Each structure stands twice: as structure tokens, then as C-alpha cells.
Amino acid sequence: MLIVEYVNHQVFTYGTGEPSDLKREPSAVTIGSFDGVHVGHRRIISRMLSVARQRSLRGVVITFEPHPRKVLKNEATGFFGLLTTLEEKIELLRQQQVDLLVIVRFTREFAARSSEDFICNVLVRLIGAKSIVVGYDHGFGSNRSGSGKTLAHLGEELGFDVDIIDEVRIGQEHFSSTRIRRLLEAGMIAEANEFLGSPYMISGTVIDGDKRGREIGFPTVNLKLSDPDKLLPRAGVYAARTMVEGISCVAMMNIGFRPTVSSENIRTIEAYILGFSGDLYGEHLRFTLSGFIREEKKFENIEELKAQLEKDKKTVESYYY
């Protein structure tokens, strides 16, 4: 998957700051924030890629960074935690086998551009759109004035067709990113994962901790989030997996305030990686969550905590073995 950034009318190779040699060629395109790259998003992307393969077009996803609602937030809408950081989103889109990912650096200046300007100058002249696939509720451009009707009208003039995908439901449930966030905030990981289409991810850099876990036989890695806006599920213990030195490892993750060993009201993310002993400081790890084990609680003493951790470990093992 080729990845480029679109910044102030210029195109750069992602992560380098160097001008890109992106070529305009006939493409099937979809546009959106794609936070979470959830089941609804995947249906749209799958349809776009199907069109691309049938018509020998390039399959292109255009997304925005940072999330538009973060840039345009106000008291009425506020902001919410991200379901995916940019790097997590890139990885999920790579798994969908997209040919080209265009990351539009979203600013208030960009938001003020009309939908017609975006369609003409980005989708058609820059990318080469011949087919555009969007969701039923899609809106873009200044004040989200661009819609499926806008696309269809301009398509006749500029030579592309438009495919609008109907709402996706799981069972009888209305599908939305808001619904996924509420599930995560309630600790309902299995249910959230069903809507996401893959396990929820938490990524970050391993930092130094107080090493209390090591003292009781449960050494943990302490994680600093890759993006402070990342949504964390409710405080508690989770069954998780991560890759360490190319090997898939089972982990027991705690998200919360460690009330038994700390009086500071500071939320931490730490994980005990089963069967691993080593130094991972400075490493970037990505954890996927499989299930909620229990709520965080304050124990009377360290021995009581240790006994509970032994039980938690067996519960986590039962998820995978």
C-alpha cells in the first residue's frame, strides 16, 4: 500500500516530508475519517475495492488527520476518544489490501474549502477518480455540504460514477462509532469487537514504571499511549495479545489507577506478558483486547492482590489456550 500526505495543496510521501511522485490514474475512491475501520467502513471499502478490481482501477482510500471533529470541536459537539490512532488505522487499511492511502492533513483552512473544490481538484484532478463509493450518510466539504447528490451531479460533468452504500446493521442494532465507544466505555469488549470486525487495539511506547509488579512476581510493561486522544475502555483487567520480537504473546492488561499500591489519581496502562522476561523499554507495542476480566478494586494488602492476579492469569489463559 502506497501512503501519501496531502498538505496545503501539495503531496508528500508519508513520514518523510519529501515530495511524492504520485501519479494521476483511473481510480475507485472512498473518502472518510474511518475511525476504527469498523464493519461499516469495511463494507464501503470492500465495495470500492470490488469496483476497482472489476474495472482495473486503482483502489484508493482518502482519510483525514487529525480527525475533523478534533479540529472543529465546539461546546455543542465536543470531542471523543479515538477508536484508532493514525498508525492503527494505517495498519487496518493495509489489511484491507488498499492500493493507495491519501492522508489529508485536516485544518480549518481545508475545512472551509467547498465540496465542489475538493471533488474537482483532489478526487478528479489529483487522484483520477472514475468511481466514488461512500456511505448513505456521507458528508464533506464546508459545513458538510457535499453529499451523495453533490457527487452524482458533478459525476455527470466530470466523468465518474457514484455508488452509495446502505446502512449496516448487526442484528437489529443501528451501527455507529458512537455505539462502539459506549460499549468500550462499559467494558463490553467482545461486543465492541463484533462491531469493529477485529480486536480493539491499544498502542504505545514502553516506559519506566515503579517496578512494583516485579516485586510480587508479575513484572509489567508500562505503556505511554501513541496518541493521548485514544479512547481507553473502562478501568479494569483485560485479556490481551501483543507481538514481542516477532512472537505472539498473551498478556494480562490493567487499565486504571492501581488503588492498592498508589494513592495518586493517575490512570496507567500496564500489562503482564505471560512467559516473557526481558527489557522492552522504548519499544513500541500494540495490544489487542479480547475480553474484560474484572473491575479494578482496592485490596487489603499485597498478598490479597497477588492471589487475585493468579486467578486473573488463569482466566486470561482460558481465553487463548
What's the CATH code of the domain at 15?
Answer: 3.40.50.620
Strands of 100-199, DSSP E: 100-105, 129-135, 161-165, 169-170, 173-174
Residues 123 and 250 in one domain: no
Compute CA distances 57 → 32, 53, 100, 195, whole Å: 19, 6, 11, 29
Residues 216 and 131 in one domain: no
pLDDT score of 282: 94
What CA–CA distance (Å, rounded) separates 27 from 30? 10
pTM: 0.89
Domain limit, last residue, from 125, 145, 167: 167
Q: Is residue 181 one of the residues assigned to a domain?
A: no
Q: Is residue 179 one of the residues assigned to a domain?
A: no
Q: Is residue 180 one of the residues assigned to a domain?
A: no
Residues 44 and 153 in one domain: yes
Mean pLDDT by 10 residues, the chain (321 residues): 94 93 96 93 96 98 92 65 95 96 94 88 95 79 60 88 82 78 95 95 89 76 93 96 94 85 76 90 95 88 89 93 81
Altogether, the residues listed in the chain come to a count of 321
| Count of the separate structural domains present in the chain | 2
Strands of 106-158, DSSP E: 129-135
Residues 151 and 246 in one domain: no
Q: Is residue 183 one of the residues assigned to a domain?
A: no
Residues 24 and 87 in one domain: yes
Contacts of 18 by beta carbon, 8 Å cutoff, 6+ apart: 12
pLDDT score of 270: 94
Q: Give the bridge partners for 82, in sequence order.
A: 230
Residues 134 and 208 in one domain: no
Spatial contact of 225 and 240, defined as CB atoms under 8 Å apart: no
Q: Is residue 174 one of the residues assigned to a domain?
A: no
pLDDT score of 209: 74
| Amino acid at site 44 | I
Residues 157 and 50 in one domain: yes
Angle between helices 189-196 and 39-55 (to 10 degrees): 20
Q: Is residue 113 one of the residues assigned to a domain?
A: yes
Q: Is residue 176 one of the residues assigned to a domain?
A: no
CATH (domain of 286): 2.40.30.30
Residues 161 and 206 in one domain: no
Residues 139 and 255 in one domain: no
Residues 99 and 207 in one domain: no
Give residue 202's domain range: 198-320
Residues 53 and 7 in one domain: yes
Domain limit, last residue, from 167, 187, 213: 167
Q: Is residue 304 one of the residues assigned to a domain?
A: yes
Residues 16 and 134 in one domain: yes
